[in-house]
Copies of this chain bind each other. A is one copy, B any other.
Amino acid sequence: MTSRILTVTLNPAIDVTYRVDTLRPGETVRVPDVRSRAGGKGVNVAAVVRELGGESLVLALTTTRTPDEFRDGLDGLGLAHRLVPALPAVRRTVAVVTRTDGTTMLQENGFPAGETAETGILGALRAELATGAGAVVISGSVPEGLGADVPAKLVRLCVRHGVPVIADVSGAALREAAGSGAVLMPNEDELAELAGPDACRDLVAAGAPAVVATFGAEGAIAVTAEGAWRARPAEVVTGNSAGAGDAGAAALAMHLTGVSEVDWPAALADVVATSAAAVLRPVAGEIDAAARNRWIDAVKVERTR
């Protein structure tokens, strides 16, 4: 059985980084240093899977136009991909990195997906599941033009193939995915939107095999039908929190792959250590592997139920 991890990105992005001295609202700043790379949460997950020693494949929507900067960017990152051209353009995110005021993120919502997007991405996932997958991670927002139920539909396709699946989605897509059979990975805000701290147990009662809720520097909790655990990081780290959740999803996916029963305390410790190791790196989709290895045994996991 293959241990390959598929990631699904419905709302891909070109992540642009502007390095400037300072950013003062109302002023003009020249940007001498412009970098761009393929982005979107599933791309970050796939990149971290590779850093964790796993094999990954990026499934994503992309632009119908050529040249496709997103496709070229994935090639540049050396990430295997299967893309569905169904967007008029790939949105951009602009990270303005300053020396004094931290990083300001400007995130375009994305362009509306065309009519072929839903059948295209479902077909691509079906084909890749037939080839073999150890786990699937569905991440990020749903562009206009696609229903909020598309992540749930993708989840059900994985469940029918007997492949464990993680949904790191929010809002209406999270509510739709709640009973679909995915391990859910809400963050604090997304959890609050649902119903507060009891939401995890409600989601499990509704059919989620597990809920792994992440709380940044406070760590994470895992709730399943069998129990509940809380993990706190060994150290508080500061840095770039963009992509920390994606790194955690990558770590969790590795623990779901090829096992009949998940070792939840170990998986949760890995989620917390890998997320923190991502904060140390300036770019989403990368982790400080040495820090992760150092922290993974130092994370405190306690059973709470």
In the complex, whether A238 has a CB less than 8 A from a CB of chain B is: no
In the complex, whether A102 has a CB less than 8 A from a CB of chain B is: yes
Interface residues as binary, A184-215 with B (CB distance below 8 Å gives 1, 0 otherwise): 00000000000000000000000000000000
- Is the pair B101, A25 in contact by a Cβ cutoff of 8 Å? yes
In the complex, whether A3 has a CB less than 8 A from a CB of chain B is: no
What is the oligomeric copy number? 2
Q: State which of A103-111, A173-181, A224-232, A263-271 sits at the interface with chain B.
A: A103-111
Q: Please give me the residue from chain B that is nearest to A30 by CB atom.
A: B107
Number of contact residues on A: which range applies? 20 to 34
Assembled-state Cα–Cα distance A70/B239 (Å): 37
In the complex, whether A160 has a CB less than 8 A from a CB of chain B is: no
Assembled-state Cα–Cα distance A66/B65 (Å): 9
- Contact for A29 among B27, B28, B31, B106, CB less than 8 A: B106
Q: Please give me the residue from chain B that is nearest to A27 by CB atom.
A: B104
- Is the pair B27, A108 in contact by a Cβ cutoff of 8 Å? no
Interface residues as binary, A85-105 with B (CB distance below 8 Å gives 1, 0 otherwise): 000000100101010011111
Given A65-B67, A67-B65, A94-B94, are A102 and B31 also a contact pair (CB < 8 Å)? no
A25-B98, A66-B66, A94-B106 provided; 18 other pairs, C-beta below 8 A?
A18-B108, A23-B25, A25-B25, A25-B96, A25-B101, A25-B104, A26-B101, A26-B103, A26-B104, A28-B104, A29-B104, A30-B107, A31-B107, A31-B108, A34-B108, A34-B109, A65-B67, A66-B67
A interface residue numbers (CB < 8 A to B): 18, 20, 23-32, 34, 65-67, 91, 94, 96, 98, 101-109
Q: Which 3 A-B pairs have the closest CB atoms?
A: A26-B102, A25-B101, A28-B105
